[in-house]
């Protein structure tokens, strides 16, 4: 038996999205409807009722872990997702290229995404190779747009340090400080502050930024750091169930979470982690991966991006594209006698709120072990009447359980 787990980030919504319907309900989805007719629906609390999830903690929960026990911060997933080597003792950060101007009091934030820079990041990454702190090994990699990841390695470092990102235009960059009275936190905070200052010195007169300023764009002249984390201790899904899994994801964070759980990353050309991703290429990669792996986890980010942008049309259009470019292909080409599929979101990102909310998300299971329920479409209201009821997290363990991979608890 094979398993397919598809997570559309921020899939869930509210009736306020589109005149009384969520974007998922408003979307025209004949292929998802066909799957709903063959399977069963339920309502999923990604972490638990009333808990407002981040994408990283929600994914850990959906994959079967207790995020309250294992989560140390997002930075480590960003670094793993960029393919960096992360070892015990390393501290990892999510990094942003940002725009600042100097002032008497310190560096003042102009834009925390450096005008969503989309060119020249590799040259800036190159310049940041000159970051140097005695006794500390520093690795920085730029990813998409303003995003990047930073790892520091050395003796006696701690993840208990505050971020430098003030999250507010016009505010001074924050100084990193220890957040717990733990050995190493003071030293690590000091390193972060030095790296921040050095990043400004290395980037402020860089040719990429001189060109940006000449063209009326904001310079990417500092690195903001947040999400300090060390490597979590996670037993791999294979060690728990025996099932070997692969991950298909454009966003580094999701690749990183899945790799931390022991899945093998399969790169897909055209997977951007955005609304413009090549969904068809991902569908074909799922079919290919099923030949060599017991299960495949495929992540799509466009739904969440549109939700954060409060763009209902984009969110609905992305769902309709998933229907035609992913679910149609799966319906036609998967061997449904020996395959189970689970489809859900990691949380709601309603249009009117523009961020993650506590509301439950519809979840769909299809396959030979799943008892059909009367649903003929997928949406929050029908999901509430579905045969799977309402449950919290653990979607992958349920999927693997239907595929007969679950270990027995007790005798």
Give me the residues that bind Zn ion (CB under 5 A), please.
9, 55, 304, 346
Whole-angstrom Cα distance, residue 188 to residue 153?
A: 10
For residue 406, what is the DSSP state?
P
Q: Which is nearer to Zn ion, 47 or 378 (CB)?
A: 47
Closest to 200 (Cα-Cα) out of 343, 329, 75, 100: 100
Q: Which is nearer to Zn ion, 9 or 45 (CB)?
A: 9
Q: Which is nearer to Zn ion, 9 or 139 (CB)?
A: 9
Q: At what angle do helices 55-62 and 252-260 cross, to 10 degrees?
A: 40
Q: Which is nearer to Zn ion, 11 or 231 (CB)?
A: 11
Whole-angstrom Cα distance, residue 342 to residue 39?
A: 10
Q: Which is nearer to Zn ion, 17 or 373 (CB)?
A: 17
Instruction: Supply the minimum distance, in Å, between the C-beta of residue 84 and Zn ion.
Output: 22
DSSP per-residue string spanning 303-353: HHHHHHTT-HHHHHHHHHHHIIIIIHHHHHHS-TTSEEEEEE-SSB--TTT
Q: In what order do the strands lie in the sheet with 389-392?
A: 264-265, 245-248, 295-300, 2-8, 339-344, 361-366, 40-45, 389-392
Instruction: Supply the minimum distance, in Å, between the C-beta of residue 305 and Zn ion.
Output: 8
The two tokens of residue 306 are 């549109």
**Dihedral Cα 125, 128, 162, 118, nearest 10 deg:** -30
Q: Which is nearer to Zn ion, 151 or 282 (CB)?
A: 282
Q: Which is nearer to Zn ion, 53 or 115 (CB)?
A: 53
Instruction: Supply the minimum distance, in Å, between the C-beta of residue 257 and Zn ion.
Output: 11
Q: Which is nearer to Zn ion, 90 or 304 (CB)?
A: 304
- 357 near 16, Cβ under 8 Å? no
Q: Which is nearer to Zn ion, 59 or 206 (CB)?
A: 59
Q: Measured at CB, which residue is nearest to Zn ion?
A: 55
Phi, psi (rounded to 5 degrees) for 18: -145, 85
Closest to 341 (Cα-Cα) out of 377, 372, 365: 365
Instruction: Supply the minimum distance, in Å, between the C-beta of residue 356 and Zn ion.
Output: 6
Q: Which is nearer to Zn ion, 48 or 207 (CB)?
A: 48
**Quick check: helix, strand or coil at residue 92?**
strand
CA distances from 11 to 66, 154, 205, 359 (A): 22, 40, 42, 11
Whole-angstrom Cα distance, residue 369 to residue 214?
A: 62
382 burial level (CB within 10 Å; 0-12, 13-18, 19+): middle
Instruction: Supply the minimum distance, in Å, between the C-beta of residue 13 and Zn ion.
Output: 13
Instruction: Supply the minimum distance, in Å, between the C-beta of residue 351 and Zn ion.
Output: 13
Instruction: Supply the minimum distance, in Å, between the C-beta of residue 55 and Zn ion.
Output: 3
Instruction: Supply the minimum distance, in Å, between the C-beta of residue 46 and Zn ion.
Output: 9
Instruction: Supply the minimum distance, in Å, between the C-beta of residue 250 and Zn ion.
Output: 13
Instruction: Supply the minimum distance, in Å, between the C-beta of residue 347 and Zn ion.
Output: 5
**Quick check: helix, strand or coil at residue 148?**
strand
């Amino acid at each position: 038996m094979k398993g397919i787990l598809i997570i559309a980030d921020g899939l869930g919504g509210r009736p306020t999205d589109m005149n009384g319907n969520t974007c998922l309900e408003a979307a025209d989805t004949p292929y998802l409807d066909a799957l709903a007719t063959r399977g069963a629906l339920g309502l999923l609390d990604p972490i638990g009722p009333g808990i407002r999830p981040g994408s990283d903690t929600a994914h850990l929960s959906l994959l079967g872990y207790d995020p309250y026990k294992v989560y140390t911060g997002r930075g480590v997933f960003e670094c793993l997702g960029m393919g960096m080597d992360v070892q015990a003792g390393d501290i990892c950060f999510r990094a942003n290229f940002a725009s600042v101007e100097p002032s008497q009091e310190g560096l003042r934030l102009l834009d925390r995404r450096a005008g969503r820079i989309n060119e020249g990041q590799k040259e800036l990454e190159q310049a940041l190779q000159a970051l140097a702190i005695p006794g500390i090994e520093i690795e920085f990699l730029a990813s998409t747009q303003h995003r990047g990841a930073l790892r520091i390695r050395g003796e006696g470092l701690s993840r208990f340090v505050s971020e430098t990102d003030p999250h507010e235009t016009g505010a001074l960059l924050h100084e990193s400080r220890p957040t717990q009275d733990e050995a190493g936190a003071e030293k690590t905070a000091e390193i972060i502050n030095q790296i921040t200052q050095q990043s400004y010195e290395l980037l402020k007169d860089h040719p990429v930024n001189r060109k940006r300023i000449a063209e009326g764009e904001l310079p990417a002249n500092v690195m903001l750091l947040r999400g300090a984390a060390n490597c979590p201790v996670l037993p791999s899904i294979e060690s728990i169930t025996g099932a070997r899994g692969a991950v298909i994801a454009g966003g580094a964070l999701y690749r990183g979470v899945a790799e931390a759980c022991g899945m093998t990353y399969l790169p897909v050309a055209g997977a951007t982690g955005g609304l413009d991703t090549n969904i068809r290429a991902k569908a074909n990669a799922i079919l290919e991966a099923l030949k060599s792996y017991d299960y495949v986890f495929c992540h799509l980010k466009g739904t969440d991006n549109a939700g954060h942008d409060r763009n209902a049309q984009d969110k609905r259009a992305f769902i309709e594209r998933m229907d035609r470019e992913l679910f149609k292909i799966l319906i036609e080409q998967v061997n449904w006698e020996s395959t189970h599929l689970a489809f859900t979101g990691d949380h709601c990102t309603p249009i009117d709120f523009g961020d993650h909310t506590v509301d439950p998300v519809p979840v769909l299971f299809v396959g030979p072990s799943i008892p059909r329920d009367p649903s003929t479409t997928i949406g929050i209201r029908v999901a509430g009447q579905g045969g799977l009821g309402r449950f919290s997290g653990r979607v992958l363990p349920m999927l693997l359980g239907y595929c007969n991979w679950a270990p027995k608890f007790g005798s």
